[in-house]
Structure 1
Amino acid sequence: MISYKKLVTQTIIYSIGFLFPRIINYAFLKFFTLSFKKEEFSLYTDMYALSFMIIGFLSFGLENTYFRFLYKKNYSKETVFSTGFIIQLIISSFFLITSIFLTKYISSITGYQNHSEYFLMFFFIIFFDTICIIPMAWLRVNDKPIQYSAINIINILIQSFIIMYLFFCHNNTYDKKTFFFIWVNSFTDKIGYVFFANMISSLSNLFLIFPILFQKFTIKKFNKNLAINMLNYGIPIMLGTVAFSINENLDKILIKRLISDEINGSYSACYKIATFMNLYIRIFKLGIEPFFFKKSKDTDAIYYYEEITYVFILFGLIFYVLICGNINIFMKFLIDEKYHMAISIIPVIMMGNLFLGIYTNLSIFYKILDKPIIGTYISLVGVLITFLFNAVFIFIFNNLFIIPAWGTFISYGTMLIVLYFWGKKNFFKFCGKKIKNIIIHFLFSLFIVFLIKKQLRLSFLLQFLYLIIIFVFEKKRLINLIK
């Protein structure tokens, strides 16, 4: 019988380690939107959008692959760890060496010929981050949430200190004369300060996971057959991750290049508010995903998957209503007013991200059945829809930035529907009552958000009534969950 108290405790600790850096990032969001022009903020988000797509490729699905092979009896845990790390190290090193030689060419074709140092810094960020994937996964799977969270918190504090120091130097004549400031300023500009701080933070992450490598990594434990099996399992997941990266970032990349930097700056800033939903999804995933794999061989596994997914949807919708009900407050405190023109995308993107979160939970079935290729096929459907809404509709409806937002919504919604009907035949069998309740919750939540938009003065009252009704409707389940 799974210890829910332990599961919840670990999830809370993971949440602290995950939320604290994100809270700092949201604090910097206000700082950046005040400090940067829309065009500069567009450049800042574009660099991260491009890098996320590369990281999705280089990860090769090795985190999920590591979780999966760890619970197979064919190999020892040390063999799985060492083999997975060597695979990741080889892939990441090849990328770094190749990219450094092609820096000027890549900078030129992406429109950054005057700032090739941006790409050089990001190549190192990507390298450091990807080779830390397996050691960080080891912390999760070995129930070490405190160490995991501590590393994340230390990294964000280092990054924050460097950013504030470099920005502060601009206003302080004495600090401008320091060697550190002169050195950094010799090869990059104000936007590059953020990337430089991120690079140092990623390097510190590598140093912090060294103790794990010293204890667990052994070259002699590398297993060629295991490596081949891990790659075969991980490549379809990698393709799905790349597809996800395209779904998440194609809109910002194309809006910048097909419409304008100004509109992309506003769109990207408001998009970050919509990613509040991703915080909830990621927190849930950090604590629950290793449990899913551990539970996979138990006779009652499907029951727990269904129950946890139901609870995830319930709290996701509550989170959605509370954020949408207070959008104006979040916008006021987190984004400078000149970026508010794209506020209409937030509810649409948030619901799309909730669809993605549900999809992620349900996707456990094809990972456990060792058929990650199913996820690849479904993700490609999502990419096709995303491309249609972004590339085609942006050309037709030039300044309607809401079109890419609906593309995200429909893309993730379609992926969820396809996965549900596919999985229903092969793995889970949600009972009719649960499906009926889920549909009711969705419709009720959307109705409340619609009322709040029409009657903004009654926002707090409507949110309070919503919470009361949800508690009455799900009283038994919520009480059992608390117990």
Structure 2
Amino acid sequence: MNPLKRLFKQTFIYGLATVLPRVLSFLLVPLYTSVMSPETYGEISVVFSWFAIFNVVLAYGMETAFFRFFNKNVDKERVISTSLISLLVSSVLFFVVALIFKKDLASLIDVKESLIVYIILILAFDALTIVPFAWLRAQERPLRYSIVKVASVAMNLVLNIFFLTLLPKMAFENGGSLWTAMHKEDFQIEYVFIANVISSGVAFLWVSGIYFDSKYKFDKRLWNEMLKYALPVMVAGLAFTVNEVFDRVLLDRLLPEDVAKAEIGKYSACYKLAVFMTLFGTAFRLGVEPFFFSHAGAENPQKTYAQITNYFVLMGSLIFLGVMVFIDPLKKLLVRDAAFWEAMDIVPIILLASFCLGIYHNLSVWYKVTDKTKFGAYISSVGAILTLGINFVFIPKAGYMASAWATLTAYGSMMMLSYYFGRKYYPIPYNMRKIVFYLTVSLVFSILSFYVFNRNLIAGSMLLLLFLGLVYKMEGDKLKIIFLKRGN
């Protein structure tokens, strides 16, 4: 099969594994906003921001290291077992230490101590599934990967619906029953985390077979090499996470206490409208990352890498313009409570920021396949510094708009830095004329649709059709070759 065709096929399956869980998770937004106050929703958003940060630390770059060494090492079983032992030991150690110091942990992330046990369990289960999921991707088994991911999130959604809507109703209608005993007032946040514990635990059980099949051969030399490769990836991932979620923590700390949680709730809800670009970028990255490594030793892989990035920018430009054209219908469909629409001005900024991040992930192939992962740490650290600096200075003056512009500044800078250093250390023949053309036309058409035509659907749709016509004229023949040609 044509390698690009196989890539797009896997990306489509990974896309389902990414899109469906995100869609299911997004259904929690109208659920939460219908039963919770904006302040409570904001509080949950802050806690989940801390989740993202701890997840990166507990993974410490081993997922990416696993791909790199699994593809270049002859003894793949040794790579699997060494990775499993490493993450198993670190996860158990974290679990024990976190329980001992749970009061201090609760103080650090500013949550009730009663929630800490749930948080620790979720983090531990998520860490233990890193290698099993990475192994499924490395084996190019996206279907099973997708089934487990979707089933886990679906279970979480069902449990949230049960705990937050059905259980209170059943407890009220059946006094003195089991439902009454299960239901507690003012327990909404706890129910959210209980649902997450159950779904994360079940996901771990579904993929835990690899733990029983492994022969557990620990190779210290290999482990040291993997850590050397992985730790800069962790630093980069931590910086990424700061860029992505730490603004909620800073909004919580820098805005007046009486409005902070409500502002975070509005910001987080409208931030979700950029989910379409995030979904596309994540699905593409999941499909392309193993592809990058497996083709690193092929003849002239740079040409293929350039083609992949060109098509990413093309599809991302379509998504960007499409969301901007249909933003009002999407807003009414996905964020139904008008109280949250106050933050709609962040959507174009966050959407463009997510696009820049997706391009960065494609450009980052140069430092991953050349084992120069320290550059990933350097570049993303620059992004994190920009994020923190802009937020600290401007949140007191501009609120969540400062956070949106900080995100765009960070991701845009990272994209440009990766391109600059990539040209120096691993030149890839990107078609910059086309890339800049698609980006510019998509951005100009989006500005016209959103600001000049005031989100008029007819005008926006005409611009979208015009863009599609340009794409067909420039790329139609090449896309037919990729998707219709058989074999190699």
Please give the TM-score of this superposition, normalised by the length of structure 2. 0.93
1:292-324 Cα offsets, whole Å, 9 max, x none, are: 110000112111111001101110111111011
Aligned length: 473
- Structure 2: how far apart are the matches of 1:12 and 1:429? 25
Q: Distance in 2 between matches of 1:452 and 1:414?
A: 26
Q: How does 1:276-355 map to 2 (within 5 A)?
A: 276-335=276-335, 336-355=337-356
The reply to whether residue 120 of structure 1 matches residue 117 of structure 2 is yes
User: Per the alignment, do residues 229 and 184 of structure 1 end up closer, same or farther by CA in structure 2, a change over 3 Å counting?
Assistant: farther
Q: Which amino acid in structure 2 is aligned with residue 265 of structure 1?
A: G
**Contact preservation (8 Å) 1:349, 1:405:** yes
Provide Cα deviations, 1:422-458, integer angstroms capped at 9, x if missing partner.
Answer: 0101112325xx1112111111111101111221222
The aligned residue for residue 393 of structure 1 is 394
CA shift at 1:10, angstroms?
A: 2.5
Report the CA distance shift for 1:158/1:430 in structure 2 as closer, same or farther (over 3 A): same
Paired with 1:340 and 1:64, the residues of 2 have a C-alpha distance of 38
2: CA distance, partners of 1:299 / 1:348: 39
Q: 1:161 to 1:372 in 2, by over 3 A?
A: same
2:473 corresponds to 1:449: no
Query: Is 1:157 the equivalent of 2:168?
Result: no
Aligned-residue sequence identity (percent) comes to 30
Q: How far apart are the structure 1 equivalents of 2:413 and 2:296?
A: 26
Cα distance in 2 for partners of 1:176, 1:323 equals 47
- CA deviations on 1:98-119 (whole Å, 9 max, x unpaired) are 111222222234332xx22323
How far, CA to CA, are the matches of 2:391 and 2:154 in structure 1? 36
Q: Following the alignment from structure 1 to structure 2, what is the Cα–Cα distance between the partners of residues 175 and 323? A: 45
Give the stretch that moved more between structures: 244-253 or 175-184.
175-184
Check conservation: 1:176, 1:182, Cα contact below 8 A. Answer: no
CA distance in 2: counterparts of 1:69 and 1:48, whole angstroms: 31
- For residues 176 and 444 of structure 1, the distance between their equivalents in structure 2, rounded to whole angstroms, comes to 62
Equivalents in 2 of 1:355, 1:472: separation in Å?
Answer: 25
Do residues 226 (structure 1) and 222 (structure 2) align? Answer: yes
Q: Residue 407 of structure 1 corresponds to which residue in structure 2?
A: 406
CA contact 2:167–2:179 (8 Å) conserved in 1: no
Aligned-partner SS, 1:171: helix
Q: Deviations over 1:3-32 (max 9, x none)?
A: 444333332222222221111111221221
Counterpart position of 1:52: 52
Uncovered stretches (5+) of structure 2, i.e. residues with no partner: none
| Secondary structure at 1:157 match in 2 | helix
Summarize the alignment of residues 23-422 of structure 1 with structure 2, pairs less than 5 Å apart. Answer: 23-73=23-73, 75-112=74-111, 115-167=112-164, 168-172=166-170, 173-174=172-173, 179=178, 182-183=181-182, 185=184, 189-215=187-213, 217-219=214-216, 221-259=217-255, 260-335=260-335, 336-395=337-396, 397=397, 399-422=398-421
In 2, the alpha carbon distance for the partners of 1:144 and 1:429 equals: 29
Helix, strand or coil: the match of 1:218? coil
Separation of aligned partners in 1, 2:444 and 2:237: 33
Q: What is the RMSD computed on CA atoms of the aligned residues? A: 1.8
Partners of 2:223 and 2:182 lie apart in 1 by 42
Amino acid across the alignment from 1:131: L
Give 1:436's aligned residue. 433
Q: State the distance in 1 between where 2:12 and 2:443 align.
A: 28
State the secondary structure of the residue aligned to 1:344: helix
Mapped partners of 2:154, 2:180: distance in 1: 19
Q: How big is the shift at 1:174?
A: 4.8
SS state of the match for residue 71, structure 1?
A: helix
* Rounded Cα–Cα distance in structure 2 between residues aligned with 1:79 and 1:179: 50
User: Is residue 167–residue 183 contact of structure 2 (8 Å, CA) maintained in 1?
Assistant: no
When structure 1 is superposed on structure 2, of 199-208 and 27-36 the one drifting more is 27-36
The alignment's TM-score, normalised by the length of structure 1, stands at 0.94
The answer as to whether partners of 1:243 and 1:383 remain within 8 angstroms in 2 is yes
- Which whole-Å deviations, capped at 9, do the CAs of 1:353-395 have from their partners, x for residues lacking one? 1111111111111111111101101111111100111111113
Over 3 Å counting, the alpha-carbon distance change for 1:185 and 1:90 in structure 2 is farther
Q: After superposing the two structures, state which structure 1 stretch, 464-473 or 236-245, moved more.
A: 464-473
Equivalent pair of 1:155/1:205 in contact (CA under 8 Å)? yes
**For residues 25 and 339 of structure 1, do their structure 2 counterparts lie closer, same or farther at Cα, with a shift above 3 Å needed?**
same
Q: SS of the counterpart of 2:140?
A: coil
| Aligned counterpart, 1:8 | 8
Q: 1-side partners of 2:483 and 2:55: how far apart?
A: 38
Change (3 A) 1:440 1:427: same
